[in-house]
Structure 1
Amino acid sequence: CGRGELLERFLRSLSFELTDAQRKVIAEIRRDLGTNVPMNRLLQGDVGSGKTVVAIAAILLAIEANCQAAFMAPTQILAEQHYAVLRRWLEPLGVRLSIRTGARQEENGPLPLFSRGSSTQDACTTRTHDAAPDVIIGTHALLYDTVSFSNLGLVVIDEQHKFGVAQRARLTAREPAPDVLVMTATPIPRTLTMTVYGDLDVSVIDEMPRNRGKIITAVRDESKLGEVLGFLRTQLEAGRQVYVIYPLIDESEKLDVKAAATEYDLWRERLHPFRCELLHGRIPSAEKQEIMERFRCGGTRVLISTTVIEVGVDVANAAVMLVENAERFGLAQPHQLRGRIGRGEHKSFCILLSSDQSKETATKLAVLEKTVDGFKVAEADWDLRGPGDLLGTAQSGLPALKIGSLKSDAQLMRRARAAAMSIFMADPRLELTENQRFRNLVVEQEGRTFSNVS
């Protein structure tokens, strides 16, 4: 862990004050980085709570300690956004950045790590002329051998619920083991399971920046569409912008679900004269950027979209989101989607529209109506979907445990974990006679799971 001088320069350059929650979490990470035990920390905070700034703080502490950092995002869109944000904030500090995705490899030029005259320069002179990037940002492309790390000290994994367990393990199972920070706005059940199990320390940003508007979520039946349209018009006339989200691009013969492309012309009629545009994953990247820029600048007032806007879109004036066929989504995705609104000072509204009258759908959507707390959403998801194959790669469904409940027996699991740790501290290689019986339960080979453990 570095001395923190580079971090202080970064914090002084920000145009806003950190929240108390952000400062608390940075202090927790700093303590982790200062120990000999690799960090394995989950950072949970709702979309817009400021997780990226906290991640940058960790990255700068790693760079100051002469280490490389990897920043892993689930999609190219999000990786590109992080690359742009980190360049804007870190280039003035002289930090070298590189992006590695399936479609793009680029570095930001031969900048020295620290500007001349920096009091931090003496601490890290060995890196000043090093041509290797300090931060490599990318997608799952970072997992493969074409990306070489010179001294990987920190791995940041954003929106970790998008990655498979094996994917994450491939990046973190290096020698020496890097510090790991995983970030999510909605921990999925498996993550929650591992948290209870004790493999992840948890940091929570439970405070939103002062300039963020409140988000109100409401569930409405399809039959109330007329009232919803009236509300959308009122918000548009007040100057706000609107997202209309669909689960599909085109209509499906198998599913009775509305689709963005099919409904687009209908929305143009409904909301005339306000300008509407269509956005989905099959639109070419350059055209997609132009559509988003028009929406960001306010030229387009309504964006009819698929879940492509789930991450990576930040428009402060967009204060209303209508989610069609809300029953088609799980809990994590609508929670992520509504994080696209409430990013400015205006009170924001998320309307979940559904024609499904089933008890299961009503229970699921009621969770989103009641809370914006990511951990509470995950708890409900856990109850609805099951905790995941605890030590395998399944993300949901009942675990392959023959005895016990991960939820009701949490205290027993904590005791078991403490007992296991004490055995390993006293006998790391399980060489004592009484401990050799545990050797068959230790899985190190790739491809094997702990599903046989009960």
Structure 2
Amino acid sequence: MPRMPSPTTSPAAKSGPARALETLGLNTPIALALHLPLRYEDETSLTPLAQARPGDTLQIEAVVQDARVELRPRRQLVVRLVDDVGETLVLRFVNFYPSHQKTLQPGARIRARGELRGGFFGREMVHPQFKAVQPDTPLAAVLTPVYPTTAALPQAYLRKAVASGLLRANLGEVLPAGVVPAGLPPLREALLFLHHPPPNTALATVEDHSHPAWQRLKFEELLAQQLAQAQSRRERALLAAPVLVARPDGLHAQLLATLPFRLTGAQQRVTHEIAADLGLGRPMHRLLQGDVGAGKTVVAALAAAVAIDAGWQCALMAPTEILAEQHFAKLVQWLQPLGVQVAWLTGSKRGKARDRALAAVASGEAALVVGTHAVIQGDVQFARLGLAVVDEQHRFGVAQRLALRRKLQLPGERQTEPHLLMMTATPIPRTLAMTYFADLEVSTIDELPPGRTPIVTKLIADNRRDELIARIRDEIAQGKQIYWVCPLIEAAEDTGEAPAKPARGKPMAELRNATETHAQLSAALSGVEVGLIHGRLKPAEKAAVMARFKAGELAVLVATTVIEVGVDVPNASLMVVEHAERFGLAQLHQLRGRVGRGEVASVCVLMYSTPLSDSGKQRLRAMAETNDGFEIARRDLEIRGPGEFMGARQSGDALLRFADLAEDAPLLAQARRQASWLLDRHPQAAQAHVTRWLGHQLDYLKA
């Protein structure tokens, strides 16, 4: 939702609840109107104490007969009530404030709501909600909402704020007749119902979001998202881009002829799709997705060859130095013998070496530039950038992706952009492709190159650690190599590492770290070279360790998730992931993909500690049941939801608050159909709808 500009009143001058509203982003009428209840309380009726049964949650009305603070068995406020026919009830408060005692004075008429218990001394409620009333105080006519809030924001204050927002927000209909699916209520009516349902409402339909009022909100949100993506696609179609066409006997053809392998059918198909886009004269905005090891790098190299063949530069950006270096090594191997100069730019490259690389990029001498986010820093100037390739694009923060888009604007030609190819080894489920990637063309490599051996995945508890180390000795004796991955405890910003998420089980302080495991394995595997790599090592040190492992000088490599992507050692046959329950599905699938890269039979061992959370069990079960990255992605979306799957927390905003992509595919399909029609026939209504729902999020959706 759009946010109001900072108010003139300083935050320090505001009351606690007012500051809490701002913290929750509830500082506009529309934001308040869309802050929906978590649940509801029924204060529309009273239950006579004579009819009340233990275990029921109910509301009673009675008069305070006595109120006192008891010190045993612990300090508590005990209030005895008596109703109009002489039935009694005790209210018990272990935590109480002077305001409780002031309200609960003898003689005060009270309405209390809570769970009735049958105590040793009779019926009682523990910590009920209560308020003072008069004998003629009317009952609530609708259910009482209970909103998501914080300790500094009482429900009573928030209810008043939301009610005010509902009155002030512009909730009038902006969509033409026929756009909203039949049977759904107007927006204002839907919101009023969801905030204050009548007593006879079937709450099950509200709680499972199947009620027409919920369906209206979901459709509105999905339509706004589809409109924004369709607008982005149309705006890009109006821009110009270099026309990049490969010559019949040029670099593209030479690269194909010299590759030491044949492209798979899927690689050939996506290569043609990309080449067709590059020759259209408008900016390509394409996502290339393929499972781990599907061969995306060579597709990117062939796209780069088309750009270079046409006299333009290409930049390839990766989130970590290890992944960038892996790309660099392959691209140099393939393209340098064909006369292409490849520049290397990372944050660790400094001094004269960096100056020389910058000069080569600025002059156009370096036709291909490979690196990390250093590629988009301010001092990097391209002579003729025609194509940008971003690998593992979801691992870049929103700010970095926006910076890349601005960097792509060609100097002096405001309406001209280079082509953009994004790559990911985290396949995108179809519903996500229809929403968050609706403004992209998607190419899919759905076929692995020949020679890749299936990876067997095994789950073992951490109490079998000694058995596993014995297995490692056998693997080493056969000349095999092993990865042993530990969860990261401290983040290392420059490497792209991130801490494994805490889950139920051992606290972070008790997790085995890479340094400890390296020492343990070195002692247990006497005479075996065990390497260690993690995010705190300097780039040169990491490169030296990886070089030794690739050369076979190290039999075991203990690592953090710094080796999650880009590492290619065909002789590695065993991957051990310690505390696997702490890792996300996408991470586990990427780590598993570090083995099985040659003809050697490979195993991935996921070692877990108990107790396992429900989501931890689901993730490990999914890994054991399938090697298919697309199925892994589908299950990951089910477990985490689209916000986390897409890294929406990087922006601080959940991109879909109400719709559920797993359940609302029919609504999504309708929204998708209506978006194009609205943009064609009613562009002003389309813009009003997008502004109401997305506001400041538009840049994030386009990043």
Asked if TM exceeds 0.5, the reply is: yes
Looking at structure 2, the residues matched to 191 and 135 of structure 1 have their Cα atoms a distance apart, in angstroms, of 35
Q: Does residue 208 of structure 1 match 2:448?
A: yes
The alignment partner of 2:286 has SS state of strand
Cα distance change of structure 1 residues 270 and 26 upon mapping to structure 2, 3 Å threshold: same
- The equivalences for 1:264-413 within 5 A come to 264-358=518-612, 359-388=614-643, 393-394=648-649, 399=654, 401=656, 403-413=658-668
Quote the offset at 1:376 in angstroms. Answer: 1.8
Looking at structure 1, the residues matched to 646 and 321 of structure 2 have their Cα atoms a distance apart, in angstroms, of 28
Deviations 1:363-393 (A, max 9, x none): 1111111222222222212111111289995
Looking at structure 1, the residues matched to 700 and 389 of structure 2 have their Cα atoms a distance apart, in angstroms, of 31
Q: Is the CA contact (8 Å cut-off) linking 1:100 and 1:137 kept in structure 2?
A: yes
Quote the offset at 1:157 in angstroms. Answer: 0.7
1:149 to 382, 396, 399: 382
The alignment partner of 1:43 has SS state of strand
The alignment partner of 2:404 has SS state of helix
Q: Does residue 438 of structure 1 match 2:686?
A: yes
Q: Is the CA contact (8 Å cut-off) linking 1:48 and 1:208 kept in structure 2?
A: yes
Looking at structure 1, the residues matched to 669 and 416 of structure 2 have their Cα atoms a distance apart, in angstroms, of 27
Cα distance change of structure 1 residues 96 and 196 upon mapping to structure 2, 3 Å threshold: same
Counterpart residue identity of residue 354, structure 1: Y
Looking at structure 2, the residues matched to 60 and 144 of structure 1 have their Cα atoms a distance apart, in angstroms, of 24
1:61 to 306, 312, 334: 306
Cα distance change of structure 1 residues 366 and 38 upon mapping to structure 2, 3 Å threshold: same
Task: Tell me which residue corresponds to 1:263.
Answer: 517
Looking at structure 2, the residues matched to 106 and 272 of structure 1 have their Cα atoms a distance apart, in angstroms, of 46
Q: Does residue 160 of structure 1 match 2:415?
A: no
Cα distance change of structure 1 residues 452 and 109 upon mapping to structure 2, 3 Å threshold: closer
Looking at structure 2, the residues matched to 58 and 421 of structure 1 have their Cα atoms a distance apart, in angstroms, of 31
Q: Is the CA contact (8 Å cut-off) linking 1:155 and 1:179 kept in structure 2?
A: yes
Looking at structure 2, the residues matched to 171 and 38 of structure 1 have their Cα atoms a distance apart, in angstroms, of 14
Structure 1 segments unaligned to the other structure (5+ residues): 112-129, 428-433
Quote the offset at 1:95 in angstroms. Answer: 2.2
Q: Is the CA contact (8 Å cut-off) linking 1:260 and 1:306 kept in structure 2?
A: yes
Task: Tell me which residue corresponds to 2:471.
Answer: 231
Looking at structure 1, the residues matched to 548 and 513 of structure 2 have their Cα atoms a distance apart, in angstroms, of 22
Task: Tell me which residue corresponds to 1:176.
Answer: 416
Looking at structure 1, the residues matched to 313 and 486 of structure 2 have their Cα atoms a distance apart, in angstroms, of 40
Cα distance change of structure 1 residues 364 and 109 upon mapping to structure 2, 3 Å threshold: closer
Quote the offset at 1:320 in angstroms. Answer: 0.3
Task: Tell me which residue corresponds to 2:246.
Answer: 3
For the aligned residue pairs, the C-alpha RMSD in angstroms reads 3.5
Q: Is the CA contact (8 Å cut-off) linking 2:314 and 2:368 kept in structure 1?
A: yes
Quote the offset at 1:102 in angstroms. Answer: 2.1
Q: Is the CA contact (8 Å cut-off) linking 2:313 and 2:364 kept in structure 1?
A: no
The alignment partner of 2:458 has SS state of strand
Cα distance change of structure 1 residues 403 and 302 upon mapping to structure 2, 3 Å threshold: closer
Deviations 1:11-55 (A, max 9, x none): 111111111221111112122223244322221222222110000
Q: Is the CA contact (8 Å cut-off) linking 1:189 and 1:381 kept in structure 2?
A: no
Counterpart residue identity of residue 149, structure 1: F
Task: Tell me which residue corresponds to 1:244.
Answer: 484
Deviations 1:317-376 (A, max 9, x none): 110011111111111112111211111110110000001332321111111112222222
Q: Is the CA contact (8 Å cut-off) linking 1:391 and 1:451 kept in structure 2?
A: no
Instruction: Provide the TM-score with structure 2 as the length reference.
Output: 0.55
Counterpart residue identity of residue 468, structure 2: V
The alignment partner of 2:387 has SS state of strand
Looking at structure 1, the residues matched to 346 and 700 of structure 2 have their Cα atoms a distance apart, in angstroms, of 36
Looking at structure 1, the residues matched to 356 and 331 of structure 2 have their Cα atoms a distance apart, in angstroms, of 12
Looking at structure 2, the residues matched to 330 and 156 of structure 1 have their Cα atoms a distance apart, in angstroms, of 26
Quote the offset at 1:135 in angstroms. Answer: 2.0
* Structure with larger Rg: 2
Cα distance change of structure 1 residues 452 and 230 upon mapping to structure 2, 3 Å threshold: closer
Looking at structure 2, the residues matched to 421 and 13 of structure 1 have their Cα atoms a distance apart, in angstroms, of 45
Deviations 1:194-242 (A, max 9, x none): 6665222222222222222221111111122233233222222222111
Looking at structure 2, the residues matched to 392 and 234 of structure 1 have their Cα atoms a distance apart, in angstroms, of 40
Counterpart residue identity of residue 241, structure 1: Q
Cα distance change of structure 1 residues 400 and 343 upon mapping to structure 2, 3 Å threshold: closer
Q: Is the CA contact (8 Å cut-off) linking 1:190 and 1:395 kept in structure 2?
A: no
Looking at structure 2, the residues matched to 67 and 331 of structure 1 have their Cα atoms a distance apart, in angstroms, of 39
Q: Is the CA contact (8 Å cut-off) linking 2:461 and 2:607 kept in structure 1?
A: yes
Counterpart residue identity of residue 356, structure 1: T
Q: Is the CA contact (8 Å cut-off) linking 1:249 and 1:261 kept in structure 2?
A: no
The alignment partner of 2:323 has SS state of helix
Cα distance change of structure 1 residues 408 and 447 upon mapping to structure 2, 3 Å threshold: closer
Quote the offset at 1:188 in angstroms. Answer: 6.8
Looking at structure 2, the residues matched to 53 and 91 of structure 1 have their Cα atoms a distance apart, in angstroms, of 14
Counterpart residue identity of residue 558, structure 2: I
Task: Tell me which residue corresponds to 2:343.
Answer: 98
The alignment partner of 1:388 has SS state of helix
Quote the offset at 1:253 in angstroms. Answer: 8.0
Quote the offset at 1:6 in angstroms. Answer: 1.7
Counterpart residue identity of residue 369, structure 2: I
Q: Is the CA contact (8 Å cut-off) linking 2:348 and 2:539 kept in structure 1?
A: no
Deviations 1:129-178 (A, max 9, x none): x6453222222223332222333322211112211234223323534233
Cα distance change of structure 1 residues 218 and 152 upon mapping to structure 2, 3 Å threshold: same
Instruction: Provide the TM-score with structure 1 as the length reference.
Output: 0.83
Cα distance change of structure 1 residues 78 and 401 upon mapping to structure 2, 3 Å threshold: closer
Cα distance change of structure 1 residues 80 and 390 upon mapping to structure 2, 3 Å threshold: closer
Task: Tell me which residue corresponds to 1:186.
Answer: 426
Deviations 1:53-83 (A, max 9, x none): 0001111112223332221110223223322
Looking at structure 2, the residues matched to 390 and 288 of structure 1 have their Cα atoms a distance apart, in angstroms, of 29
Looking at structure 1, the residues matched to 667 and 309 of structure 2 have their Cα atoms a distance apart, in angstroms, of 41
Structure 2 segments unaligned to the other structure (5+ residues): 1-243, 410-414, 491-505
Looking at structure 2, the residues matched to 293 and 197 of structure 1 have their Cα atoms a distance apart, in angstroms, of 37
Q: Is the CA contact (8 Å cut-off) linking 2:294 and 2:445 kept in structure 1?
A: yes
Cα distance change of structure 1 residues 172 and 374 upon mapping to structure 2, 3 Å threshold: farther
Cα distance change of structure 1 residues 415 and 62 upon mapping to structure 2, 3 Å threshold: farther
